[in-house]
């Protein structure tokens, strides 16, 4: 089963819509609640990152028996130093993003915590692709 | 601690999810930072916050938090209300500060997450 969602950069009122749809789907499939929470928290963090930092993005979800792969592909400024961005507390978020309760530099580290496999590829000036795999 | 007791202690009113008034909550977490809320492993706690926007509801939806008390007289918007109802959340509004609300609930026996 495959799903695809679009994300609009800067549109905070729509942020979380895709994660919400994925959560509903996982619930319908009867997957363990702890697993669902990990998957959707990682996805939501990623979705918020695109809204906060990029111009636009796409989420691709692929469901297989006992495995879910989510890819978040954005067009945006990219991440110059991924290792630095992974450090808790490091953030380049704007004042507006912080006022929404995000931008504390916890997102990428929390995505890593909640996924079994996380890969991040980024090109400065073009965008970032985050791939997450969870097994259940 | 029952939701109705929390309302009484915090001079709060239930904005939506009145059917949960008798539900019992064991733990509370106070934060205006949704980034921190998303790192919690505990489910079904009471979130005490002054961060009153749509992403507070979304964060709670993702983190399996069903009870939120908005402090500092923050008012829930119609958009937030709609999303909260869709996700069967219980929202409360209190005129107290985050510090005062947290202190009262802690003293009355609501446990911290850590």
Q: Which of A17, A99, A101 to mutate to test the interface with B (most CBs of B within 10 A)?
A: A101
B38–A33 CB contact, under 8 Å: no
Buried b (16+ CB within 10 A) or exposed e, A3-16: eebebbebebeebb
Distance from CA of B11 to the nearest CA of A (A): 25
* Every domain of chain B and the residues it spans: 3-112
Quick one: closest CA in A to B49, which residue? A101
- A-chain CB neighbours of B35 within 8 Å are 101-107, 110
What is the reported pLDDT for B44? 82
pLDDT in tens, B43-95: 889 999 999 999 999 999 999 999 999 999 999 999 999 999 999 999 999 99
Q: Any CB–CB contact under 8 A between A33 and chain B?
A: yes
* Tally of domains in chain A: 1
> Of A48, A100, A96, A93, nearest to A74 (Cα)?
A48
Element (H, E) at A5: strand A2-8
> Of A45, A46, A55, A59, nearest to A75 (Cα)?
A55
- B-chain CB neighbours of A45 within 8 Å are 38
Q: Average pLDDT, whole number, for chain B?
A: 97
Q: Average pLDDT, whole number, for chain A?
A: 94
What is the reported pLDDT for A103? 87
Which range of residues forms the domain containing residue A48?
2-135
Q: Is the torsion defined by CA of A3, A9, A11, A12 positive or negative? A: positive
Q: What is the mean pLDDT of residues A84-94?
A: 91
DSSP A48-95: HHHHHH-SEEEEEEEEETTEEEEEEEEESS--S-HHHHHSTT-----H
Of A16, A23, A104, the CB nearest to B35: A104
In this predicted structure, the answer to whether residue B17 has a pLDDT above a threshold of 90 is yes
Crossing angle (nearest 10°) for helices B54-62 and A17-28: 30
What is the reported pLDDT for B6? 98
**Contacting residues for B57 by C-beta, under 8 A, at least 6 apart:** B68, B80, B83, B84, B87, B89
ipTM of the modeled complex? 0.92
What is the reported pLDDT for B19? 96
Of A16, A37, A104, the CB nearest to B58: A16
CA distance B27 to B43: 9
CATH number of A68's domain: 3.30.565.10
Distance from CA of A122 to the nearest CA of B (A): 22
pLDDT in tens, A107-123: 999 999 999 999 999 99
Q: Which of B30, B33, B34, B35 to mutate to test the interface with A (most CBs of A within 10 A)?
A: B35
A110–B79 CB contact, under 8 Å: no
CATH topology of domain B3-112: 3.40.1390
What is the reported pLDDT for A99? 86
Quick one: closest CA in A to B58, which residue? A16
What is the reported pLDDT for A96? 87
Q: Is the torsion defined by CA of B57, A25, A59, A87 positive or negative? A: positive
In this predicted structure, the answer to whether residue A125 has a pLDDT above a threshold of 90 is yes
Percent of chain B residues topping a pLDDT of 70: 100
CA distances to B43, B56, B99, B111 from B114, in Å: 13, 21, 17, 9
**Strand partners for A61:** A3, A70
Q: What is the mean pLDDT of residues A47-72?
A: 96
What is the reported pLDDT for B43? 82
Quick one: closest CA in A to B32, which residue? A101
């Amino acid at each position: 089963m495959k799903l695809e969602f679009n994300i609009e950069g800067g549109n905070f009122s729509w942020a979380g819509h895709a994660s919400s749809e994925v959560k509903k789907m996982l619930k319908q499939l009867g997957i363990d609640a702890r697993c669902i929470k990990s998957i959707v928290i990682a996805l939501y963090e990623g979705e918020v990152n695109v809204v906060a930092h990029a111009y636009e993005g796409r989420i691709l979800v692929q469901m297989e028996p006992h495995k879910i792969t989510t890819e978040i592909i954005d067009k945006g400024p990219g991440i110059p130093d991924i290792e630095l961005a992974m450090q808790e507390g490091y953030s380049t978020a704007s004042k507006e993003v912080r006022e929404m309760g995000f931008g504390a530099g916890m997102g990428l580290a929390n995505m890593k915590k909640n996924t079994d496999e996380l890969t991040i590829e980024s090109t400065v000036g073009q965008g970032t692709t985050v791939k997450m795999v969870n097994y259940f | 601690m029952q939701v109705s007791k929390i309302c009484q202690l915090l001079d709060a009113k239930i904005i939506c999810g009145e059917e949960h008034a008798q539900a019992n909550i064991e733990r509370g977490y106070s934060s205006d930072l949704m980034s921190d809320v998303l790192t919690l492993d505990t489910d079904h706690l009471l979130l005490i916050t002054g961060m009153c926007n749509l992403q507070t509801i979304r964060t709670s939806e993702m983190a399996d938090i069903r009870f939120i008390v908005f402090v500092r007289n923050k008012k829930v918007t119609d958009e937030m209300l709609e999303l909260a109802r869709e996700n069967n959340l219980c929202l409360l509004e209190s005129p107290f500060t985050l510090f005062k609300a947290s202190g009262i609930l802690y003293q009355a026996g609501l446990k911290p997450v850590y």
